[in-house]
Every structure is written in structure tokens, then in C-alpha cells.
């Protein structure tokens, strides 16, 4: 390296755009040479926007470029180990986005490989390098607080994040696994490695199977007992770290690097009219060791403000560059990431039934609300006959069937259709998870389980002219694509909330059309298939109508050509389009997948 580190980035999504990407161009003795993303359009757009000379869709091409000295991996955690080992094999330093892998096992394999080859490995717990958290370390080191006696952290909030971060196959865990490491890494930075005394994780939401409530107790090297808790089901957010000493305490937010940090110090009050004595005073009595008299104390409060940093990773990148070029010590070495990963695994181990294997392959063993409900499911089973399965395979649909859910009478029909109905209405999720639906869905999926990923009410008011053209539900925003480029096959449950018939715009179908794809389906499911002439061989006027009573439903292969006409009747016609895929097909980033069977 000629006095500079030339970086390549694998994965240039949202985090890289907002926090880290430009930092590689702004840091001293650093430049960004190439970026890689699986989508050529997105990779080119990022390179153009940020003035990066080269872009590619091939990770190996980027890793082995002679003008790339080091690689930053910012793809989902499921890919970190594979990409990092390739970087290691090329003998190049590597900075891996947190979490460094899906478990401490993957982290350990990664750190061991780099250690054997004597190649630097770093993890992007960037908060260690920000002024606010360095100020806390400075205060702790100054002794102003006296001996530290307790550490408490509490985080709460609604826990919203991207759907794929609820999928341990991709992310390694839930929201705690994604963001909790930042706080644990800061505690490690301030106090040294922590010893886990005990921890528990739980799940209370049926919309995901990952942990949403976590608590732990730890001990520092100085034998200080600390607690930390995260609750991602709270309506109102909270984020507070308190570090208490004999002579004062620090209070701060750990998730907001710009918010103030407050230091309170307890001092003897000598009665002088100084600036300090005019601060907020607590007249507290305590005995001084070896003396019988009482001493008045006052609380002196200092507030430290911090400025915004355009790209929070810049100080981290500067430290990593100094470590690569000068051999300087870097607090973000891979071993520190491994320590945090082991601590997290210790907290989550019981919840996931162990984390030393591919635990993401066995969600039925987790302690999630969904898994527990399935283990205690009642004895009701709803099976299609062999003849019904054969009919579905040949024609692409079967039904109608009656929904047997007790919750159906509590289901409120929304005034307007909205996507992901099951995520906003717990009763809807209960209905769509009922065995009378899911058992049959699993049969036509040829799977032991099912993932609910989409539900959308369709309401046609009396005399509505709204109609849906002929289309197939395939591709992006409809389940996504398999590695071979083919769309993911899914099952649609067309559920009648009101009676559906020809006069009020019930769904009509072209049986047998689920075995091929029509029109330019890559662009849009509503591309003018009929206008293109692709349906010329079909008598569209005689297409069967899926008539149903309220509370009945059909199973329909999502590739089956279907449409619906206007509601010419005097009554409302409401139904719900519910979509399911088999486990392992949860690949469309547009959706949050919920395991229902």
C-alpha cells in the first residue's frame, strides 16, 4: 500500500448509504475504489452518486481487484462468514459490519481464520469512536464518580425494523441481536469484558418468531453488578444508561450519539456563594468515615453537548486505516466482536434451544409465541382428500372450504383495503393462522410448515366500477425470486368476507394456467396480458367464477390467471387475498414473514 488504503465494499444498501460508505472517502489516507451489490442497477447508482470508480455484481471480482487493499462487508449477517473467508484467502484486511455473524460459532471461525493467516480483522462497532462515548470513558477514568457501584440500562420502544431482520436465517436473531450488541460493546469498551451472570429472552408477538423482550445481569472486571433490558413491544420509546458511583453518576442515551450526556457529582457543601453552590442542591446527610458530625452534600450537574457527525463510521475507519498502515492498536479488532457475540449467545441460548448449530433451521424448537402455540395446538386437523390435491395440481385451485376459526366472528372488515392486514390486526392473524386454512395450505405447498407474508382486503362498494384485469401474482412484491431467477411459487387463499358471486365482482379464473407464465411478468403483474394477445386461446367470457358464502375460502395457486369484475349489486362485496409460501422461500424483502404452521 502506497500510504493509503483503497477500499472495496460488498453490499451497499441503506446502512452504507447513510452511515458508512462516504466515510471511506472522507477518512485520512483512505479512498473507496469499488463497490459490489447483487443488483447491477443499484450498484451502478451508488457508484455514480458517490464517485466510485468501479462497481460489480461479483464479490470475488471485487475482492481480487489489485486496486482494492481492504474490504468492508456490509451485506446481511448470513453472508458475512463466506465473504470474510474469501477476503482472508486473498490476504486482505477486512472490516465486517455488526453483527459479525449469525452466532459466536461463525464469529469464532472467522476470527480464527484471520489469526492463522495473520491478516487484520475488524468489526464495525463504531460507537466506541464517537465523542459522546469517549467522554464517558474519560469521566470513568478520571475517578470523578468514585468507585463504580452499579450499572443499569433500559431500552424500550415499538421495535420496527426491516422484515429480513426478523429472519434468523439471514440476520442471526431479532431486533435485540441486531442492535443490542452496540450497548454490550460499549460496556465492554468502558469496563472490559463482561461476565454473564444470567439472562432471559422471550417472545410475545405472533407477527415474528424472534426475541422481543430480553433481560440480563452481568458483572464487570471490578465486580460491579449491572443489569440491562430491552423491550420491543412498548408503545413509547425509552433509552437510558445510568452508571452510578459513590460520588456521582452518569446518565445518557446509547442509541442517540448526539443527545447530551449528564454528569452529577456529589460534593461537600461549605456554604460558600460560589457558582457551584448555586447549582441544583440536594441537602443530604451522611457520616464521614471516622467522624461523628454530619456533612451537607450538594449535587453539581454538568451537561455535555455533542455535534452531529455526517457519517458516523468515519472515526472508526480512521482507526482501522491507522492499524493497517501504521500497526496502531484498534479497539474494533475482531476479538472484541467475538466477545460481544459470545455474550449475546449466552443470553439467547435457551430461547433458541442452543445457538451452536444451524438453529435457524429448526424454528419449531424456539420459545416463540408461535412455536409454543403450535406445540399446544388442539386436535383439529383439516386435510384435503387425494382427489382434491390432484384437482389443485391440475387446475390450480380447489374449494370452497369453511373457515372454522372461533375468531372469525370478531374480525372487523376494514373500510379500505390495506396491505399486511395481519400485521395490524391481531384477530386477522389469528384467523389466517387457523388450522382449517393452514393445514390445507401446507398440503398444496407440499411442506410441513407455512409462512404468511401478505394479506390484503379488497372492498368493492355497491355499484363500484373497480375491476381487476387478468394477471398472475408473480415476481418482486409478490413473493420474490428463487436463485435460478424463477418466481417463488406461493398459495393464495381467497377469503370471502361477504358472499361473492358473478353480479358483485367475484374472482374469475382460467383453470390450468398456473403451469406457465404469461406476458412480461418481470415488469408488472398487471402488464396488459389480454391486450398483448397472450390469452387469445381462452374463452374469457366463460371463465369460471369462484362463488363463495361469507366465511368460505378457496385455495389458488398464485400463478393462476385470475381477474374480477365490477360490483353491479346493491351490496358491498369484501374479500381478503391471503398469501403463503413454504419455509425457506422467505426471500422477498418487501414482506415480513410469519410462521403459521
Q: Tell me, what CATH number does 505's domain have?
A: 2.60.120.620
CA distances from 251 to 133, 241, 393 (A): 12, 6, 63
Whether residues 175 and 197 fall in one domain: yes
pLDDT digit string (tens) for 328-384?
999 999 999 999 999 999 999 999 999 999 999 988 889 888 777 665 555 557 889
pLDDT of residue 114: 97
SS3 call for 121: strand
Strands 94-96 and 121-123, sheet pairing: parallel
Query: CB-side exposure of 361: number of CA atoms within 13 Å?
Result: 3
Q: Is the pLDDT of residue 288 over 60?
A: no
Q: How confident is the model at residue 79 (pLDDT cuts 50, 70, 90)?
A: very high
pLDDT of residue 375: 58
pLDDT digit string (tens) for 224-274?
999 999 999 988 889 999 999 999 999 999 999 999 999 999 988 765 544
Q: Residue count of the chain, please give it.
A: 597
Task: Compute the distance between CA of residue 521 and CA of residue 470 in angstroms, rounded to an integer.
Answer: 12
Is residue 366, in this structure, part of any structural domain at all?
no
Strands 248-252 and 54-56, sheet pairing: unpaired
Whether residues 532 and 412 fall in one domain: yes
pLDDT of residue 377: 54
Instruction: Check residue 459 and report its DSSP letter.
Output: E
pLDDT of residue 292: 44
Place of cell 430480553: 214
**What end-to-end distance do the CA atoms of the chain give, in Å?**
54
Is residue 370, in this structure, part of any structural domain at all?
no
Query: Which domain does 417 fall in, by range?
Result: 377-595
Task: Compute the distance between CA of residue 360 and CA of residue 352 in angstroms, rounded to an integer.
Answer: 8
Q: What is the largest CA-CA distance in the chain?
A: 103
Whether residues 207 and 348 fall in one domain: yes
Among 126-140, 349-363, 475-489, the minimum mean pLDDT is found in: 475-489
Enumerate residues 6+ apart whose C-beta is below 8 A from 464. 505, 566, 567
pLDDT of residue 420: 82
Q: What is the residue-averaged pLDDT of the chain?
A: 89
Whether residues 83 and 147 fall in one domain: no
Task: Compute the distance between CA of residue 447 and CA of residue 441 in angstroms, rounded to an integer.
Answer: 9
Check which CATH number belongs to the domain holding 29 and give it.
3.40.50.720
pLDDT of residue 280: 44
Q: Contact 167/257 with Cβ under 8 angstroms? A: no
Share of the chain above pLDDT 70, in %: 92
Is residue 433, in this structure, part of any structural domain at all?
yes
pLDDT of residue 294: 58
pLDDT of residue 475: 79
Whether residues 297 and 421 fall in one domain: no
Q: Is the pLDDT of residue 278 over 50?
A: no
| Four-CA torsion 532, 534, 539, 545, nearest 10 degrees | -90
Is residue 371, in this structure, part of any structural domain at all?
no
Task: Compute the distance between CA of residue 245 and CA of residue 152 in angstroms, rounded to an integer.
Answer: 12
Q: How confident is the model at residue 283 (pLDDT cuts 50, 70, 90)?
A: very low
Is residue 265, in this structure, part of any structural domain at all?
yes
Task: Compute the distance between CA of residue 253 and CA of residue 387 in angstroms, rounded to an integer.
Answer: 61
Run of H or E including 96: strand 94-96
Q: How confident is the model at residue 295 (pLDDT cuts 50, 70, 90)?
A: low
Is residue 368, in this structure, part of any structural domain at all?
no
Task: Compute the distance between CA of residue 25 and CA of residue 51 in angstroms, rounded to an integer.
Answer: 10
Task: Determine the average pLDDT of the residues in 563-587.
Answer: 92
Strands 468-471 and 54-56, sheet pairing: unpaired
pLDDT of residue 524: 56
pLDDT of residue 466: 85
Whether residues 489 and 391 fall in one domain: yes
Check which CATH number belongs to the domain holding 276 and give it.
3.30.360.10
Whether residues 566 and 482 fall in one domain: yes
Is residue 431, in this structure, part of any structural domain at all?
yes
Is residue 257, in this structure, part of any structural domain at all?
yes
pLDDT digit string (tens) for 486-527?
889 999 999 999 999 989 989 999 999 999 888 766 655 555
Alpha helices in 214-362 (DSSP H): 314-326, 334-352
Whether residues 142 and 58 fall in one domain: no
Whether residues 318 and 405 fall in one domain: no
Whether residues 248 and 271 fall in one domain: yes
pLDDT digit string (tens) for 400-423?
999 999 899 898 887 766 668 888
Run of H or E including 44: helix 40-50
Whether residues 438 and 586 fall in one domain: yes
pLDDT of residue 277: 38
Order of strands, sheet of 70-73, starting from the edge strand that comes earlier in the sequence: 54-56, 30-36, 5-10, 70-73, 94-96, 121-123
Domain count of the fold of the chain: 3
All 3 cell numbers of residue 529? 396480458
SS3 call for 403: coil
Whether residues 90 and 145 fall in one domain: no
Burial of 306 (0-12, 13-18, 19+ CB in 10 A): middle
What are the counts of helices (DSSP H) followed by strands (DSSP E) for the chain?
Answer: 18, 24
Task: Compute the distance between CA of residue 342 and CA of residue 338 in angstroms, rounded to an integer.
Answer: 6
Q: Is the pLDDT of residue 530 over 90?
A: no
Q: Is the pLDDT of residue 111 over 90?
A: yes
Question: What DSSP string describes 355-388?
Answer: SSS-GGG-GGGS--HHHHHHHT--S------HHH
Amino acid at each position: 500500500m502506497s500510504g493509503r488504503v483503497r477500499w472495496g465494499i460488498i453490499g451497499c444498501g441503506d446502512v452504507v448509504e447513510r452511515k458508512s460508505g462516504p466515510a471511506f472517502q472522507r477518512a485520512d489516507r483512505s479512498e473507496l475504489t469499488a463497490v459490489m451489490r447483487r443488483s447491477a442497477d443499484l450498484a451502478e447508482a451508488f457508484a455514480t452518486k458517490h464517485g466510485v470508480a468501479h462497481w460489480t455484481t461479483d464479490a470475488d471480482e471485487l475482492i481480487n481487484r489489485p486496486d482494492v487493499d481492504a474490504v468492508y462487508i456490509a451485506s446481511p449477517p448470513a453472508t458475512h462468514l463466506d465473504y470474510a473467508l474469501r477476503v482472508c484467502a486473498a490476504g486482505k484486511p477486512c472490516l465486517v459490519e455488526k453483527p459479525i455473524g449469525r452466532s459466536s460459532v461463525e464469529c469464532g471461525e472467522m476470527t480464527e481464520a484471520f489469526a492463522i493467516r495473520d491478516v487484520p480483522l475488524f468489526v464495525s462497532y463504531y460507537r466506541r469512536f464517537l465523542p459522546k462515548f469517549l467522554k464517558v470513558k474519560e469521566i470513568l477514568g478520571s475517578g470523578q464518580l468514585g468507585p463504580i457501584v452499579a450499572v443499569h440500562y433500559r431500552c424500550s420502544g415499538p421495535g420496527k425494523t426491516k422484515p429480513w431482520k426478523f429472519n434468523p436465517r439471514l440476520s442471526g436473531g431479532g431486533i435485540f441481536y441486531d442492535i443490542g450488541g452496540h450497548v454490550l460493546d460499549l460496556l465492554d469498551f468502558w469496563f472490559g469484558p463482561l461476565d454473564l451472570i444470567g439472562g432471559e429472552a422471550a417472545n410475545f408477538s405472533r407477527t415474528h418468531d424472534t426475541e422481543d423482550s430480553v433481560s440480563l445481569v452481568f458483572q464487570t472486571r471490578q465486580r460491579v453488578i449491572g443489569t440491562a433490558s430491552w423491550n420491543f413491544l412498548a408503545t413509547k420509546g425509552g433509552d437510558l444508561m445510568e452508571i452510578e458511583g459513590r460520588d456521582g453518576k452518569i446518565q445518557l442515551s446509547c442509541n442517540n450519539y448526539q443527545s447530551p450526556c449528564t454528569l452529577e457529582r456529589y460534593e461537600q457543601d461549605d456554604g460558600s456563594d460560589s457558582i457551584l453552590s448555586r447549582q441544583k442542591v440536594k441537602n443530604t446527610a451522611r457520616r464521614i468515615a471516622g467522624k461523628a458530625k454530619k456533612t451537607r452534600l450538594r449535587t453539581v450537574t454538568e451537561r455535555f453537548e455533542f455535534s452531529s457527525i455526517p457519517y458516523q463510521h468515519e472515526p472508526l475507519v480512521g482507526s482501522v486505516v491507522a492499524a493497517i498502515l501504521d500497526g496502531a492498536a484498534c479497539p474494533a479488532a475482531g476479538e472484541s466482536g467475538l466477545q460481544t457475540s459470545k455474550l449475546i449467545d449466552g443470553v439467547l441460548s435457551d430461547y433458541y434451544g442452543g445457538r451452536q448449530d444451524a438453529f435457524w433451521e429448526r424454528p419449531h424448537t424456539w420459545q416463540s409465541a408461535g412455536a409454543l402455540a403450535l406445540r399446544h395446538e388442539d386436535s383439529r386437523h383439516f386435510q384435503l382428500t387425494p382427489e382434491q390435491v390432484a384437482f389443485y395440481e391440475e387446475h390450480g385451485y380447489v374449494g370452497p372450504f369453511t373457515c372454522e376459526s372461533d375468531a372469525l366472528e370478531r374480525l372487523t372488515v376494514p373500510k379500505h383495503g390495506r396491505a399486511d392486514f395481519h400485521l395490524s390486526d391481531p384477530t386477522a392473524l389469528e384467523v389466517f393462522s387457523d388450522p382449517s386454512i393452514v393445514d390445507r395450505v401446507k398440503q398444496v405447498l407440499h411442506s410441513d410448515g407455512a409462512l404468511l407474508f401478505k394479506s390484503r382486503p379488497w372492498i368493492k362498494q355497491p355499484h363500484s366500477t373497480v375491476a381487476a384485469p387478468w394477471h398472475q401474482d408473480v415476481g418482486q412484491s409478490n413473493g420474490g425470486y428463487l436463485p435460478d431467477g424463477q418466481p417463488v411459487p406461493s398459495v393464495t387463499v381467497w377469503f370471502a368476507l361477504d358472499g361473492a358471486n358473478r353480479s358483485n365482482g367475484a374472482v374469475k379464473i382460467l383453470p390450468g394456467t398456473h403451469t406457465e407464465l404469461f406476458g412480461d411478468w418481470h415488469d408488472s403483474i398487471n402488464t396488459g396480458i389480454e391486450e398483448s394477445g397472450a390469452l387469445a386461446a381462452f374463452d374469457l367470457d366463460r371463465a369460471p367464477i369462484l362463488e363463495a358464502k361469507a366465511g368460505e375460502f378457496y385455495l389458488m395457486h398464485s400463478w393462476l390467471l385470475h381477474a374480477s369484475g365490477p360490483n353491479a349489486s346493491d351490496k358491498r362485496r369484501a374479500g381478503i387475498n391471503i398469501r403463503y409460501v413454504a419455509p425457506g422461500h422467505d426471500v422477498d424483502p418487501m414482506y415480513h414473514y410469519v410462521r403459521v404452521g
